[in-house]
Chains A and B, each alone.
Chain A
Amino acid sequence: MQLALTPEEADFRDELRTFYRNQIPAEIRERTRTASEANRDDIVATQKILNDHGLAVPNWPVEWGGKDWTPTQQQIWLDEMQLASVPEPLTFNTNMVGPVIAEFGSQTLKERFLAPTAALDIWWCQGFSEPEAGSDLASLRMTAVRDGDTYLVNGQKTWTTLGQYADWIFCLVRTDPAAPKKQAGISFLLIEMNTPGITLRPIRLVDGSYEVNEVFFEDVRVPADQLVGEENQGWTYAKFLLGNERNGIAQVGRTKLRLAEIKELASAKGLLGDPLFAARLAEAENDILALELTQMRVASGSEGGKPNPASSVLKLRGSQLQQLATELLVEVAGPDALPFDAGGGISTLEWAQHSAPRYLNYRKTSIYGGSNEVQRTIIASTILGL
């Protein structure tokens, strides 16, 4: 057992730390640190820089730009990125559809999609959830009926994050409604967003933000060569994808930065001397440290590439602590949390104006990526044998 990084790992960390701070423009990192909404241009610009240096998709197979790093190196790559407030590569591209195409797609699909996916020349969005298929994803109804060289697609997807920026969407569709099990009749289909018959409708969230959408498909004709892998095997690919989706979802680095920011603001307001507040903050710091160490254990124990069921712990606890940080910031703001979007002309600072909306927005973190109840079910069944 050895807590410290090996000298090689420490060098690796230092190189990345320097790279992120020198190569990613300071204004992008500052906007990322303070912004409450994703900035499309910053995400694209950053992923291009990362990709130019071979750092956008280290988790992919080497022949498609991957790095063959150890899980510990992967973790360092991500932690340092978060600590430097660098926008992460678009997860739909790098953690979701890219690895699925690389693992299950034909050579033609790989050559067509993987390079532009890594470079973010294609912005992907995720077409999984439907109005009647949330946690019970396999109940999805959107149909794709084979008709010659095309599929005729009808149905609706929802909660499509950043769909307003997307060029393509990867969808789970029902290709065999008569299959004996509902999981058995599902396929994984790639669809260009500007195909006739697709309409996008924004869903405004409780904080006034616009990050998710409904996507409607009406007699959309999709070339059959955009099917990934085999027809009716989509559920297997989806499970593979969902295992990867939890990569990095704990957001340990970002939460640590948020807590440091909260401490600085609380200190300026004299709140750090309040024993009740200080106790909450000190406990939150301990909680994030315990999660970080757990993440280190999971990373160093997952050699061999198998998803570790303990990653459910990271998602569950990580989302709780992200939420806790937003809650503490509202506490620091106090009555200054009330004004919203009032600009810089009043005494309430911008961070305080955004604190409560972000708190409300972050209730999403225990719902997306497999709700925390789903994570508990995974823990109970796969780890505890219940």
Chain B
Amino acid sequence: MDFQLSEEQVLLRDTTRDVLSRAYDPESRLQVVNTDLGWSRDVWNQLAEIGILGLGFDEDAGGQIEIQVVLTEIGRRLAPEPVVHAALGPGALIAEVGTAAQRSVLDEVAAGERLLAFAHSEPGMRLSTTEVTTKAAREGDSWVLSGRKNPVLAGDCADTLVVSAALPDGGTGLFLVDAAAARRQPYRTFDGLRGAQIDLERVAAEPLGEPIDASTAIDAAQVRVTAALSAEALGAMEEALRLTAEYLTQRKQFGVTLSKFQTLTQRAADMYVSLELARSMALYAAMSIADGNLDPAIASRAKLQIGRSGRHISQEAIQLHGGIGVTDEYPVGHYAARLTAIEHTLGSSQDHLHVLVGQLGDYEVVTV
């Protein structure tokens, strides 16, 4: 049992933190978020140079602990670059089930030259499931897909889509689709990031690997992305609490700093408890994956705690700040927005609690 980062991991953390804190302060972040793209190509290239956009594709280049470390920094700065949704998440799917030729695009992804998106979620889908209504059909030697995917995070800017679709003989397959061939309606998400609805009407598609059921790979991908989002949420919570504690020591009312009021400091202490519980579960998710254990129940456990802690910390961070906490100018509300968005990506706390309730009778004593 060891919870220490290696020297290389510490270096990766510090380098990422350095790049992102040079790129973004709250004001410059807002400017970038308000551009059409919503994030910075320049920062994207820097992340590619550090090797971040290829994490997880090649185990030698780093695995889930490295992803954990990097995403925590992204959460801390609220960096808007779609590292998970445009690179790591769909990239890992291609790495796992793609043919050698298909895997070769991963070099472009890692270099920051090609953007991906995983078009899986469909209207009405709550928790990640492998059952989809988008249909794959064979037309001669080729395949076409028809259906609607929404929300597709990073679907607005993707060059290549990884699309899940029901196979004619049952099961859910994965396909590569040229994003330009699909009809997409891009939008902003409420936390300032980007997504799109993607409509496919007999759009040409290439099976990712063999045209066979890929449910296991889809589940595994969702487990990895859930862990990565948990890490991002952790960074956001850490910064939201840091901002709150700092504010309490600076803001004066009734002639004294807010830190003199126990009604506030006691609540800040409870936020710290929530943060540490979230950290434990985020690490649990990442370390399990690093050990080769992709049990979706562990992802559910992490996501439940992250959701509870994220809600608590974001609500209290705003309340302890007062009115400034709900302004656009001050960052704490944006942390709350991002944490809320993560809560509703890949299943909410309630959705994951459903999963855990369903397994309650399968064991006696709950164990790590």
Chain A residues close to B by CB (< 8 Å): 1-6, 9, 72, 83, 256-257, 259-260, 263-264, 267, 272, 275, 278-279, 281-283, 285-294, 296-297, 300-301, 310, 313, 316-317, 373, 375-377, 379-381, 383-386
Interfacial chain B residues near A373, Cβ < 8 Å: 266
Interfacial chain A residues near B273, Cβ < 8 Å: 313, 316-317, 379
B265 touches A380 (CB 8 A): yes
B365 touches A6 (CB 8 A): no
Q: Which of A263, A278, A301, A376 contacts B269 (CB 8 A)?
A: A376
Q: Which of B3, B269, B357 contacts A377 (CB 8 A)?
A: B269
Segment at the interface with A among B143-151, B181-189, B284-292, B337-345? B284-292
Given contacts A290-B277, A293-B284, A297-B280, contact A4 B366 (CB under 8 A): no
B259 touches A386 (CB 8 A): yes
- Contact residues of B between 269 and 315, Cβ < 8 Å to A: 269-270, 272-273, 276-281, 283-284, 286-288, 290-291, 301, 304-305
Question: In the docked arrangement, what's the CA distance between A288 and B281, Å?
Answer: 11
B1 touches A5 (CB 8 A): yes
Interfacial chain A residues near B304, Cβ < 8 Å: 283, 286
A236 to chain B, nearest CB (A): 25
Chosen A-B contacts, 16 in total, with CB atoms closer than 8 Å, are A2-B2, A259-B366, A279-B357, A286-B301, A286-B366, A289-B281, A289-B366, A290-B277, A301-B3, A317-B277, A377-B265, A380-B268, A383-B272, A384-B268, A385-B245, A385-B249
B284 touches A3 (CB 8 A): yes
A292 touches B368 (CB 8 A): yes
B2 touches A300 (CB 8 A): yes
- Contact residues of B between 340 and 363, Cβ < 8 Å to A: 353, 356-357, 360-361
B365 touches A296 (CB 8 A): no
Question: In the docked arrangement, what's the CA distance between A166 and B274, Å?
Answer: 39
A313 touches B365 (CB 8 A): no
Additional 20 contacts, C-beta under 8 A, given A1-B4, A1-B287, A297-B279 = A2-B1, A3-B290, A3-B368, A257-B365, A260-B365, A263-B364, A275-B357, A278-B357, A278-B360, A279-B353, A281-B360, A286-B353, A290-B278, A294-B279, A296-B368, A297-B280, A375-B269, A377-B265, A380-B266, A385-B249
Number of interface residues of B (CB under 8 A): 47
Question: In the docked arrangement, what's the CA distance between A296 and B360, Å?
Answer: 24
Which partner residue on chain B sits nearest A293 by CB separation? B280
Q: Which of B2, B276, B284 contacts A310 (CB 8 A)?
A: B276
Q: Which of B279, B361, B364 contacts A272 (CB 8 A)?
A: B361
B266 touches A9 (CB 8 A): no
Question: In the docked arrangement, what's the CA distance between A4 and B301, Å?
Answer: 18
Which partner residue on chain A sits nearest B278 by CB separation? A290
B277 touches A294 (CB 8 A): yes
In the A-B complex, the 3 residue pairs with the closest CB atoms: A376-B269, A293-B280, A3-B287
Interfacial chain B residues near A283, Cβ < 8 Å: 304, 353, 356
A289 touches B65 (CB 8 A): no
Main secondary structure on chain B at its contact with chain A? helix
Question: In the docked arrangement, what's the CA distance between A379 and B268, Å?
Answer: 9
Chain B residues close to A by CB (< 8 Å): 1-6, 9, 65, 241, 245, 248-249, 259, 262, 265-266, 268-270, 272-273, 276-281, 283-284, 286-288, 290-291, 301, 304-305, 353, 356-357, 360-361, 364-368
Question: In the docked arrangement, what's the CA distance between A380 and B266, Å?
Answer: 7
A250 to chain B, nearest CB (A): 12
Which partner residue on chain B sits nearest A283 by CB separation? B353
Interfacial chain B residues near A9, Cβ < 8 Å: 1
B1 touches A286 (CB 8 A): no
B368 touches A384 (CB 8 A): no
Question: In the docked arrangement, what's the CA distance between A272 and B364, Å?
Answer: 13
Q: Which of B266, B272, B277, B360 contacts A263 (CB 8 A)?
A: B360
B330 to chain A, nearest CB (A): 19
Question: In the docked arrangement, what's the CA distance between A1 and B279, Å?
Answer: 14
A2 touches B265 (CB 8 A): no
Given contacts A3-B291, A285-B366, A384-B268, contact A267 B277 (CB under 8 A): no
Q: Which of A267, A278, A300 contacts B3 (CB 8 A)?
A: A300
A1 to chain B, nearest CB (A): 5
